Amino acid sequence: MSLHPTRRDFLALGGASAITVWLGTDPRAFKRALDATRSAAEGHPVQFEVLTAEQAEDLEAIAAQIIPSDDDVPGAREAKAIVFIDRSLASFASGQLDQILEGLAELNGRVVARGGEATRFAQLRADDQVTLLIEIEDTPFFWRVRSSTLVGTFAHPNWGGNHEGTGYEILGFDPRFIWQPPFGEYDAEVRG
Amino acid sequence: MRRFRQDETVDFLIVGSGAAGGVMAQELAQAGFTVLVLEQGPRLEAADFEHDEYKYFWQSSLNNRSDLQPTMFRAGPDEDFRRQQAVVYHRLVGGGSVMFTSNYWRFKPIDFNEASAMGTVPGTGLVDWPITYEELEPYYTKAEWDLGVSGTPGPFDPPRSRGYPTPPLPVKSGGVVFERGARALGLNPQPAPMAIISQAYKGRPGCLHCGYCSGFGCEHRAKSSTLFTTIPVAEATGRCEIRTGAYVRKVEIDRAGRTTGAVYFDQDKVERFQAARAVVLCANGAETPRLLLMSKSNQFADGLANSSGLVGKYLQFNGNASTSGVFEREMNNWKSVMVTRMIWDYYDTDPRRGFYGGGGIDSRFWGFPLFFATGGLPPGSPTWGHEFKRLLRHNYPRSMNADVHTTSLPVESNRIDLDPEGVDDWGLPMMRVTYKDHDDDLAIMKFLVDKAVEIMDAAGAVETWKPESLQQFVGYHLLGTCRMGNDATSSIVDKYHRTHDVRNLFICDGSSLVTGGRGQPTCTIQALAYRASEHIARFARRSEI
């Protein structure tokens, strides 16, 4: 199956991970999630709704390895993808909460099994985090966190993530929404 | 806008306010008739539309939702049905005309008589239309000039009595390289005709190139949807009401076999009856046959207007596949309209290819940020980490797609019908969809997918790739399920869109199409609506309904 989602295979590609997850929800839950995440995006203190501070820290650390922060380009952490993840788990994606928490507990079990001082994923050094994630990168837990991280980073800021357009900055997308040609280098060349 | 009393009998009750229903409402209201349009979805204004792909694509906030209106699907008559979203259509005033990409291709003369010109294809229902291109041409022109279309005639255009009302939209970088590659291969690229005005037209501003067309409503009103064109004109007559949140469950019939109106659920799910002297179904190629099948009665035990047994059959999705390419320099194809260049060199069936079918290829970009992040990188790319992020950042401004749009053969077993057990959120029978692309449909898709990649390679792409599987299992173009024809035993409506079985029941939407053209049906659906409304108004004036 193509990795590129056309309109037509979008539903099937995303079908398992997106449609069935996101559609079976109460629109009022979306509204509550939107209100909460807008509040967070506007700079109010983040009050996690379902995650403990430690769970949020661990999940954010995973998100920050999925889309890392570099010296000059921010990543999922700066996008506040964790805000989207928490709010969605508190509302329209509440059915995923158990799987996420169980997966996180299993991951932290691996951290403990390694020995050393760290007892949670977020406490590991970055290279050790990567090593652990490679171990679990084919699990449903990892793909669910990855999916939420991408939504929390690149979806419209309405949803709580993509803080201050971080996801747009990563791609080089400019959300001004009004343009005139030339749009790119090739059409500029033709236009002279 | 006129508000009819609940007990008032209107001249025409139209089910659906989309590409066809919106045109039908204007034309019948302007002709002097009272018109009530029942629309499932809400009414949005330009300022209500957002650039929120998660809301529209992931949450399905403006299309049929799989939790509320579930469908059953099977990939062919030999398979078992499974619950899966198999059709997608938009639920709002203006329907798909608000949210579509806005490709606005006319059909060509061959689309109307291909069976007699090229020969039939065994095992299929490929037949000629009861009308010709020449009969429809004035209405193509009327649609283009009434609604507002941008473009310029190209080398393979069908004969046209008039040019386009606005010039082509400015070419994007993806269009430039597509044109370069196509010319290198000896092909004939041309500006794509789009139902998006490139400059001010009939009180609406030209496109401001926000980049959010396909799957989004236009906040500038530059997309020529019925929401911003015909529906306001219809309402301004004082004879038309658009009633939202109205989900029709049955077309009612009296003892004489004439329709008396329709029963619908209002926005509070309260059942109501609306009386009408005639009913016009414009509910799309999936919901129109479903409504007919739900409208059983003693007189019409197999569903309304279904004496032929063909309601819901010959479903055609059109073939569609997307290929991808990455180029060296920045193209920024996320700006402006989806499509600016296309080719029609492979439009006609060529017997030398060994299979039926043809189509077109366009240059575009599925570049909404979340879309790209979740599926825009080449196969085998890293899926997380520094290299994933680097590739996203590098490829995003340098990527394009070349999409192919092709024929679907009308096959009787491809159909819409009713699930005998499952119900939707209103308690109505769930829609069932059986669909399997004909071998020739897959062959023409593969042929054009390979050509699309060749074009990008010839243009100097650094990397290209194509989909592995072409079989389709969800439909956006919902065509052919109540086909036109002169023979009541092999079609549902006559050449004037009147059902063969019920004198005051008409159908005009994607279901009316006999064949689906080459993948862009909206222009033809709307031309048919202009033509049908003229005839229906004539019948009404002569008391021939």
pLDDT for residue B148: 98
Which residue in A has a C-alpha nearest to residue B327's C-alpha? Answer: A186
Rounded distance between C-alpha atoms, residue A46 and residue B23, angstroms = 49
User: CB distance A14–B370 less than 8 Å?
Assistant: no
Query: Quick one: which H or E segment has residue B403?
Result: strand B399-406
Which residues in chain A have their CB less than 8 angstroms from residue B445's CB? none
Give me chain B's average pLDDT, please: 98
pLDDT for residue A47: 82
pLDDT for residue B6: 87
pLDDT for residue A8: 39
B214 touches chain A (CB under 8 A): yes
Length of chain B as a residue count: 545
User: CB distance A177–B211 less than 8 Å?
Assistant: yes
Nearest to B164 by CA among B176, B187, B189, B147: B147
Q: What is the mean pLDDT of residues B365-392?
A: 97
Interface test with B, best of A91, A187, A189, A190 (most B CBs within 10 A): A187
Residue A22 — very low, low, confident or very high, per pLDDT cuts 50/70/90?
Answer: very low
Which residues in chain B have their CB less than 8 angstroms from residue A73's CB? 389, 393
Which residues in chain A have their CB less than 8 angstroms from residue B465's CB? 2, 4
B134 touches chain A (CB under 8 A): no
**Which tens digits make up the pLDDT trace of B242-275?**
999 999 999 999 999 999 999 999 999 999 999 9
**Which tens digits make up the pLDDT trace of B502-518?**
999 999 999 999 999 99
Q: What is the mean pLDDT of residues B310-339?
A: 98
Rounded distance between C-alpha atoms, residue B381 and residue A123, angstroms = 29
User: Could you say which of B327, B331, B389 has the minimum Cβ distance to residue A68?
Assistant: B389
Interface test with A, best of B54, B318, B465 (most A CBs within 10 A): B54
pLDDT for residue B258: 98
Residue B1 — very low, low, confident or very high, per pLDDT cuts 50/70/90?
Answer: confident
B420 touches chain A (CB under 8 A): no
Check pLDDT > 90 for residue A24. Answer: no
User: CB distance A137–B384 less than 8 Å?
Assistant: yes
Residue B188: how many other CB atoms lie within 10 Å: 13
Rounded distance between C-alpha atoms, residue B403 and residue B360, angstroms = 8
C-alpha dihedral (A81, A87, A91, A94), degrees to nearest 10: 60
What is residue B362's three-state secondary structure? strand
A159 touches chain B (CB under 8 A): yes
Cβ atoms B223, B102 nearer than 8 A? yes
Strand runs labelled E in B169-312: 190-191, 240-243, 247-253, 259-265, 271-281
Distance from chain centroid for Cα B95: 10
A75 touches chain B (CB under 8 A): yes
* Percentage with pLDDT > 90 across chain B: 100
Q: Determine the distance in angstroms separating the CA of A22 from the nearest CA of chain B, rounded to an integer.
A: 6
pLDDT for residue A61: 98
Rounded distance between C-alpha atoms, residue B222 and residue B149, angstroms = 10
Which residues in chain A have their CB less than 8 angstroms from residue B369's CB? 154-155, 167-168, 171, 173
User: CB distance B322–A6 less than 8 Å?
Assistant: yes
Cβ atoms B343, B181 nearer than 8 A? no
Give me chain A's average pLDDT, please: 83
pLDDT for residue A71: 85
pLDDT for residue A3: 30
Global pTM reads 0.94
What is residue B231's three-state secondary structure? helix
pLDDT for residue A97: 97
Show which of residues 329-358 on chain B sit within 8 Å of chain A, judged by CB atoms.
329-336
Check pLDDT > 80 for residue B362. Answer: yes
Residue-range domains of chain B with CATH: 1-48+80-150+216-307+481-545 (3.50.50.60)
> Taking the alpha carbons of B449, B455, B457, B461 in that order, is the dihedral positive or negative?
negative
Q: DSSP states of B15-79 as a string?
A: E--SHHHHHHHHHHHHTT--EEEE-SS----GGG----HIIIIIS-TTB--TTTS-EEEESSTTS
